[in-house]
Amino acid sequence: MTKSRARSGLKGLLVGTAFGAILPGGPFTAYPVASALLAVGADFGATIAMVVSWTLIGYGRAVAWELPIMGTDFTLWRIVISLPLPVLAGAFGRFVYGRMYPPETRGESGSE
């Protein structure tokens, strides 16, 4: 039995980005969550967006380290500049995944 990947579009990329930004903890939290999402059939691009967002935007590091050391202006500008990157990475990852593993090879119909 093969698993079908969800197709979540732009909404999935934005939800993945938002989830990654608010996900607390270190790699011992983020990567198992990402792995579990993929295991239950989550969209590949949305999962990439989540991991990239957790890495670039994660509020835990910003509040604990960046704000006190670098200041508010730097932190806010870094977050604003970083916001589109998880969406772009997720879209690119979805594109590459779709080309490397076409729906026919995954047991999906592709016309859904």
CA distance 22 to 14: 13
Q: Walk along the chain (112 residues) in steps of 10 and give the mean pLDDT of each run.
A: 66 97 94 96 96 94 93 96 97 94 71 48
- Model pLDDT, residue 12: 96
Do 42 and 6 touch, CB atoms closer than 8 A? yes
- Model pLDDT, residue 2: 44
CA 68 to chain centre: 26
Give pairs for 23-29: CB < 8 Å, separation 24+: 23/50, 23/54, 23/58, 24/59, 24/60, 25/60
- Model pLDDT, residue 1: 33
The pTM of the full predicted model, rounded to 2 decimals, is: 0.86
CA distance 45 to 42: 9
- Model pLDDT, residue 112: 47
